[in-house]
Amino acid sequence: MGRIALEGMEFFAFHGFYDEEQKIGNKYGVDLYIYTDLLAAAETDDLHQTVNYEVLYKLVVAEMLIPARLLEHLAHRIIDRIYQHFPLIRQIKVNVYKFNPPLGGICRHAKVTIKESR
């Protein structure tokens, strides 16, 4: 089994618990880790034998466009969408973080990590 990672993806999106957060938006980050069998791709050098990074990115973008109140919910939706598109993936770990969360003080980002296996 191998791992494919897309780290440091950044988006401006309209997520947040408070209505105001969903109106003004904020900067968000996503790290994605896909665990799957990479042997066929390694042996054949064939893109069709692996998980296409460009497709993964587009799946994340699609979920980032749909507002969510909780980062936990957003992370779970990203995982569900990827499993629907790539059923042979064995495990997905995703970090979703909100830059400068409105906490009343200095905080670089608030982050949620969810890891789900099949």
- List the catalytic residues: 98
Angle of CA points 22, 23, 29, to nearest 5°: 50
The alpha carbon dihedral of 83, 84, 85, 89 has a sign of positive
43: CB partners within 8 A, 6+ apart: none
For the record, the structure tokens of 55 come out as: 């497709």
H or E segment and range at residue 34: strand 26-36
Report d(CA 41, CA 64) in Å as an integer: 29
